Amino acid sequence: MTPRYSAPRDLVGVTAALADGDGVVVGGGTMVVPDMTHGRTRAAALVDLSRAGLAGVTAGADGVVVGAMTTYTDLVEAGVPLLSSVATGITGGPQIRNRGTAGGSACYANPASDVPACLVALDARMRLASAGGKREVPAAGFFLGGFRTARRPDEVLAEVVLPQLGNALLGYVKFKLAESSWPIVTAATVAVPGTALRVVVGGAAAVPVVVAVDRPSAGSGDPAWRDHVREAVHTALDAAEPWSDVLAPAAYRRRIAPAIAARSAAHALEEDR
Amino acid sequence: MTGMRLTVNGVDREIDVDPSTLLVHAIREQVGLTGTHVGCLTGDCGACTVVLDGRTAKSCSVLALSADGSAVETVESLADGDELHPVQRAFWDGFAFQCGFCLPGMLLTAKELLDSTPEPDDAQILAAINGNLCRCTGYNTIVSAVRQASGCARTCAKETPCQES
């Protein structure tokens, strides 16, 4: 069946087009278009965001606002904490980074993608819009499971708000076995001076998992600290839904997650020169 | 079918597409330029790379209608008649393709790199082509060709190849 197609000129038009609840949102298209090609997504209506004016990064009083259609390339150029460096490493080459968006990746919610854990680590707020109004959902509550989010079918992600991080140090490490592969496990670390490290592990469970990790007193190679990280990560994973995909089973992800978390913490702390 | 406009390699075209028509199919079947290849249709291989409004894109992952009114450059835009573009010349001279399937994507991605970074190091070259798969696995000659096509190569005497950067 041929889907209906619209490319609304503004957010009001987008929410009107989605009001029936049967629309598939097309952002950068890098995930949803191949999914349609291969029959994994069937759309009665396509709502194309490319003309709705949702791209751009602006600094406001309550943080940095990233429009949903801001591409990874735009993010690199804008210099957004953590997300810009993550954007440079998004799988798929410059062609994908020129089209794909962090907002789209969040809404697609592949557990193994880079963006979800980063947004949770940054305490991002997801601004959703529908014909009935707008609401904000914290990133920690946005990801409900593999490929499932709090976005309703009649809603569009309009913006992502990244709160001010002050003088926090940031780290990000991902593990994958081939350049063109999805990540298998990711870890984003936010180190606010004087507090425990906040490490968010992605890919090891169906949703990002937040782990509080003590700062290493004898360096990140200290076996005692490594034991602490392993215990903290495994305790957090025990409370979460496991995740497997074609690249790795859940047990493998659980096994390597502490090492990736420790590397991410070390990556953040190494910036503290 | 819906009418749309594309400027392809500088020529304005009006074509009719279905809402689910991919840009790569519109370019090949409606516009009639078959240099842009259909590979994986998943956004992985990069054989369908075109330049869309100034930036490279994988045209299998773009709905044709999303490109309505846009300017598209394909691999056919590179050569001037029989005169190869310097990037094409470097690939030709360096035996940097075997079956040629990945070639349109490799060329356009390399050109985008060199337009912004005229003298890339090998790490930058590898990063630029990491969304282009060569299933003949001829990556070494591809990297050499991009290096050869760079401003660095063109400004260095061949007897003393530039080892900088």
Domain boundary at A143, A162, A181, which?
A162
Mark whether B59 and B97 lie in a shared domain: no
Report the CATH number that the domain containing residue B147 is assigned in CATH.
1.10.150.120
Q: Give the nearest chain B residue to A89 (CA atoms).
A: B127
Q: What is the per-residue pLDDT for A271?
A: 58
Q: Is A210 found in the same domain as A189?
A: yes
Residue B96 domain-assigned (yes or no): yes
Of B13, B46, B77, the domain-final residue: B77
Q: Are residues B144 and B104 in the same domain?
A: yes
Over residues B43-94, the pLDDT tens digits come to: 999 999 999 999 999 999 999 999 999 999 999 999 999 999 999 999 999 9
pLDDT tens per residue across span B1-30? 999 999 999 999 999 999 999 999 999 999
Average pLDDT of chain B to the nearest whole number: 93
Q: Which amino acid is at A41?
A: T
Q: Alpha-carbon distance B104 to A47, whole Å?
A: 30
What pLDDT is attached to residue B158? 47
> For chain A, what percent of residues have pLDDT higher than 70?
99
- Residues B26, B73 within the same domain: yes
CA distances from A245 to A113, A146, A186, A250, B28 (A): 12, 10, 15, 8, 34
Q: Interface of chain B against chain A, CB under 8 Å?
A: 2, 18-20, 22, 41-44, 46, 49, 52, 55-58, 60-63, 65-66, 68, 105, 109, 112-113, 128-133
Tokens of A51: 């003309």
In a domain, B124, yes or no: yes
Same domain, B68 and B91: no
**Total structural domains within chain B:** 2
pLDDT of B143 strictly over 80: yes
Same domain, A131 and A222: no
**Per-residue model confidence (pLDDT) at position B152:** 62
Q: Percent of chain A having pLDDT more than 90? A: 95
* CB contact (8 A) between residue A94 and residue B128: yes
Report the distance separating Cα A222 and Cα A228, nearest Å: 10
Q: Are residues B90 and B43 in the same domain?
A: no
DSSP codes joined into one string, A32-86: HHHHHHTTS---SEEEEGGGS----EEEETTEEEEETT-BHHHHHHHT-TTHHHH
- pLDDT the model gives residue A272: 53
Q: Domain check: are B103 and B49 in the same one?
A: no
Of A118, A145, A162, the residue at which a domain comes to its end is A162
Which pair of tokens denotes residue A112? 């193994």
Domain count, chain A: 2
Sign of CA dihedral B30, B32, B33, B38: positive
Which residues of chain A register pLDDT less than 50? 273
Whether the complex's predicted ipTM is more than 0.90 is answered with yes
My answer on whether B59 and B110 are in the same domain is no
pLDDT band of B155, cuts 50, 70, 90: low
Residues of A with CB under 8 A from a CB of B: 2-5, 7, 26, 28-31, 33-34, 36-38, 46, 48, 50, 73, 91-96, 98-99, 179-180
Compute CA A46 distance to the chain's CA centroid, rounded to the nearest angstrom: 23
B129 CB neighbours in chain A (<8 A) are 93
- Candidates A46, A98, A179; nearest CB to B55: A98
Distance in Å, alpha carbon of B9 to nearest chain A alpha carbon: 18
Structure confidence by residue, pLDDT tens digits, A206-245: 999 999 999 999 999 999 999 999 999 999 999 999 999 9
Would you say A213 and A197 are in contact if contact means Cβ atoms under 8 Å apart?
yes
Q: Searching chain A, which residue's CA lies closest to the CA of residue B60?
A: A34
Pairing of strands A209-213, A197-202: antiparallel
As beta bridge partners, residue A130 has: A133
Is the same domain home to A158 and A190? no
Given B44, B77, B110, which residue is the final one in a domain? Answer: B77
Q: Which residue is it, tokens 């079956």?
A: B99
CATH number reported for the structural domain that contains residue A237 in this entry: 3.30.390.50
Tell me the whole-structure pTM to 2 decimals.
0.95
- Axis-axis angle for helices B103-116, B139-149 (nearest 10): 40
Nearest CB to B62 within list A4, A7, A29: A29
Full residue range of the structural domain in which residue A248 is found: 169-270
* A70 and A118 both lie in a single domain: yes
The answer on pLDDT for B160 being more than 60 is no
| Domain enclosing residue B128, as ranges | 86-155
Residue B55, domain CATH: 3.10.20.30
pLDDT bracket for residue B154 (50, 70, 90): low
**Same-domain pairing of B107 and B73:** no
Distances (CA, A) of A259 to A83, A195, B105: 22, 21, 36
Residues of chain A with C-beta less than 8 angstroms from the C-beta of B58: 30, 92, 95-96, 99
With an 8 Å Cβ cutoff, are A37 and B41 in contact? Answer: yes
Query: Do A5 and B19 lie within an 8 Å CB cutoff?
Result: yes
